[in-house]
Copies of this chain bind each other. A is one copy, B any other.
Amino acid sequence: MSGTWLDKVSWNADGLVPVIAQEVGSNKVLMFAWMNREALSLTAETGQAVYWSRSRKRLWHKGEESGHVQKVHAVHLDCDEDVILITVEQVGGIACHTGRHNCFFQKLEQDQWVIDQEVVKNPEDIYHHE
């Protein structure tokens, strides 16, 4: 948490920074989420993506339930220093909680949102709750 590199990031009023996760190789955008200082620090330290869940108000180690962790290959900061882009290997090939490869599966076509991406695995088979 002491890294001065973390001070370079312009955290927003909530202490968060928006994060884009992109797949290494395909360059496909997998998902969008947020990190706080601790999450970004842990992401760099562990080499796996750790986000801040705004709904659950806690650190969210991506894949903690599903096993679909993201192995981080690179971390980039944008020109305004208020957006992070991480390049990751998506374990299991599924980033989205709907069981799809990525979260951007609704495409605008003639004023309609049309699903243009198939489910890889049924979410019920991904998330095992007792």
Closest to A8 in B: B113
Known A27-B27, A83-B103, A85-B104: A78·B111 in contact at CB below 8 Å:
no
Give residues 32-90 of A contacting B (CB, 8 Å): 32, 44, 74-81, 83, 85
Contact among B28, B75, B100, B103 with A108 in the assembled complex (CB-CB below 8 Å): B75
Q: Is the interface of A mostly helix, strand, loop or mixed?
A: mixed
Q: Say yes or no: A32 contacts B106, CB within 8 Å.
A: no
Instruction: Find the B residue at minimum CB distance from A22.
Output: B29
| A-side interface size class | 35 or more
Q: By the criterion CB–CB under 8 Å, are B83 and A32 in contact?
A: yes
- Contact: B18 with A32, CB < 8 Å? yes
- B27 and A85: CB pair below 8 A? no
**Interface membership of A11, Cβ < 8 A:** no
* Contact for A27 among B4, B28, B98, CB less than 8 A: B28
Chain B residue nearest in CB terms to A28: B27
Beyond A44-B111, A79-B98, A79-B105, 8 additional contacts (C-beta under 8 Å) are A22-B29, A74-B108, A75-B108, A76-B106, A76-B108, A77-B106, A81-B106, A83-B104
6 pairs, CB–CB < 8 Å, chain A vs chain B? A4-B111, A26-B27, A27-B27, A44-B111, A76-B108, A77-B106
